Amino acid sequence: MEVQQLDDYFGYTEKGSSFDAEVRAGLTTFLTMAYILLVNPAMLTLAIGDGTNAGNAQAFSDILFATAVAAFVGCIVMGLWANLPFALAPGMGLNAYFTFTVVNFGMGIAWELALFAVFVEGLLFLAMSMPQVPVIGGWRSEMINSIPTDLKIATGAGIGMFLSFIGLREMGWIRNDGATLVNLGDTESWGGRLNIDSDGDGIAGEACQDTAYGCDLATFTPEGGNYLVDLQLWQQGELISMVALLVIAVLMARNIKGAMIIGIALATVWGWAVNAYDPYNDFLAGQAGWGATAATWPSSFAGMPEMPEETLMAAFGENGMGAVGDNMADFLLVMIAFLFVDVFDTSGTLYSVGRQAGYVDENDELHNSDEAFASDAAATIVGAVFGTSTTTTYIESAAGVEEGGKTGLVAVTVGILMLSGLFFTDLFAAVPQFAMASALVIIGAMMMRQAADIDWSNSEMALPAFLTIALMPLTYSIADGIAWGIIAYCVIKIGMQKWDEMNPVMWTLFVLMTSFYIGPGDGSTFEWIFSDLLSL
């Protein structure tokens, strides 16, 4: 399609944007969420890989393919059908639940069965998004429109706080603390020595820094043929990311377009040039450890992807759909948990980013919400078929909106770039985590502006709104923040005997959420009901 045809289809000029601005916004969103192309395969490999080097490598390759395809489908449907600037990809948090709670260490069910649960959840999600479907059709839009406005505004502010929390952690500026839970990163320990692999790619390096890790430089012995390099101040990812953050802020204050791209590019090239330390990837420092501890130039720029060998259609094999009958209770619990988190993660994200983009009307309803929800569901279904956990709308979509994105062309751009990740994996893998994280803090700050619109003088709303905002970063879950905000709101209304101010949807949500979190014994009410009924 030519540019004029694109404008006729998406209508970006009418909405005050341009072709260049939409593409730039898409690139900005992509840069802030491209990490999922590597983080999602790294996490799910722990559940799907067989533990051998060859098996884990195959699982990583399969999941990378599934991640890119699911993101592509979701973004394309969102852009072409819903015409909204929201990007989708397999969700963080949901992949952790899949790996650590469902497959490993928790229920211990087969990963194939877990994928089938994701597939069924996606089908239910789709049915709930389509008004034409009897009984449950369109329920998601009705649900989000029934939640009080101040709680929905608090959701946006909470997501902003959550984004900033994630960004500051990935920048290395906040860290875990046994006494205070979180604390400022140990800036006084900058410098020191970093253990780099003998091939210089920085993978699985071990850091040795006196104050931060209690490491004695005199006795530290690297393993596996690694070698130590001295770190200078300008090689610290924490410093580089903070410089990038401030540069982005100055450029935005001066109304310079592409501020986030410039900041991310600055931090990336700087990191590559000095072989900078990436604090978020230092496993020995108590961080995630998903990638390289040192920023290095890409080893290559292109490669050919391969179709998944193990995960494609695995959900429908004997260990997947074929095992439902023997594991019905666990299957239903997992499927409902995925559905619950997906519904509230996506609803909160769509409303909050939509409000920021101007897609919430005077009736406080999200424009094209049914189509947006259906896009999310379609991506989840496709992702499960190829071999990845639940796909959801990303809060990083706010990056493109803040950059000026207005229409579905932003989402289409992100989708194409996500698919291109199959060809440029090494290039994307080389972008340091601290470089991408600087943009997340800026986005969070912009989204926190919504908190000013909450009626804090309303004593019946202040606590629910506050819990919604505070619990998102503190529990690392959008769904938990929304759920307990709604529970608190309903309890206060019940305590005030204002039954008439609670609509049927809020009553339903109150009962379901309370049942999800609270129950007899050591499980929720859902678990208690399913365990008893299915044991008959």
Q: Are residues 122 and 30 in the same domain?
A: yes
- 36-40, 71-75, 517-521 — which is least confidently predicted? 517-521
Q: What is the predicted pLDDT for the residue at 249? A: 92
How many Å apart are CA 20 and CA 29, to the nearest integer? 14
Q: Is residue 129 part of a domain?
A: yes
Q: Are residues 135 and 65 in the same domain?
A: yes
* Tens-place pLDDT, residues 245-286: 999 999 988 878 777 778 888 999 999 998 888 877 666 555
Residues of the domain holding 37? 3-8+15-164+300-432
Q: Is the pLDDT of residue 88 over 90?
A: yes
How many Å apart are CA 300 and CA 302, to the nearest integer? 6
Q: Is residue 477 part of a domain?
A: no
Q: Is residue 533 part of a domain?
A: no
Please tell me the total count of domains within the chain.
2
Q: Is the pLDDT of residue 320 over 50?
A: yes
What SS3 state is found at 384? helix
Q: Are residues 316 and 224 in the same domain?
A: no
How many Å apart are CA 344 and CA 376, to the nearest integer? 12
pTM of the model: 0.70
Give the rounded percent of residues in the chain with a pLDDT score beyond 90: 22
Domain closes at, from 432, 448, 475:
432
Q: Is residue 467 part of a domain?
A: no
Q: Are residues 267 and 344 in the same domain?
A: no
Q: Are residues 203 and 313 in the same domain?
A: no
Tell me the pLDDT band of 125, cut-offs 50, 70 and 90: confident
Q: Are residues 308 and 215 in the same domain?
A: no
Q: What is the predicted pLDDT for the residue at 424? A: 78
Q: Are residues 19 and 159 in the same domain?
A: yes
How many Å apart are CA 205 and CA 228, to the nearest integer? 9
* Tens-place pLDDT, residues 169-197: 888 888 777 788 888 776 655 655 554 44
* Tens-place pLDDT, residues 66-81: 999 999 999 999 999 9
Q: Is the pLDDT of residue 519 over 90?
A: no
Per-residue pLDDT, averaged over 459-486, amounts to 88
Q: What is the predicted pLDDT for the residue at 466? A: 95
* Tens-place pLDDT, residues 368-408: 778 888 898 999 999 999 999 989 888 788 888 888 888 99
Q: Is residue 518 part of a domain?
A: no
Give the rounded percent of residues in the chain with a pLDDT score beyond 70: 81
Q: Is residue 202 part of a domain?
A: yes
Q: Are residues 128 and 33 in the same domain?
A: yes
Q: Are residues 25 and 158 in the same domain?
A: yes
Q: Report the relative pairing of strands 227-230 and 193-196 from DSSP bridges.
A: antiparallel
Q: What is the predicted pLDDT for the residue at 355? A: 78
Pick 131 or 398 by higher pLDDT: 398
Q: Are residues 154 and 25 in the same domain?
A: yes
Per-residue pLDDT, averaged over 448-459, amounts to 88
* Tens-place pLDDT, residues 290-313: 556 777 787 777 777 778 888 999
Q: What is the predicted pLDDT for the residue at 47? A: 86
Contact (Cβ atoms closer than 8 angstroms) between residue 114 and residue 411: no
Q: Are residues 115 and 225 in the same domain?
A: no
- Angle of CA points 455, 459, 461, to nearest 5°: 55
Nearest to 446 by CA among 395, 412, 480, 483: 395
Domain closes at, from 375, 398, 432:
432
Q: Is residue 207 part of a domain?
A: yes
Q: Are residues 221 and 343 in the same domain?
A: no
How many helices (H) and strands (E) the chain has is answered by: 21, 7
How many Å apart are CA 329 and CA 518, to the nearest integer? 18
Q: What is the predicted pLDDT for the residue at 24? A: 92
Domain closes at, from 432, 458, 490:
432
Q: Is residue 453 part of a domain?
A: no
Q: What is the predicted pLDDT for the residue at 286? A: 55
- The DSSP letter of residue 381 is H
What b-and-e string marks burial along 102-116, b requiring 16 or more CB atoms within 10 Å of the CB? bbeeebebbbbbbbb
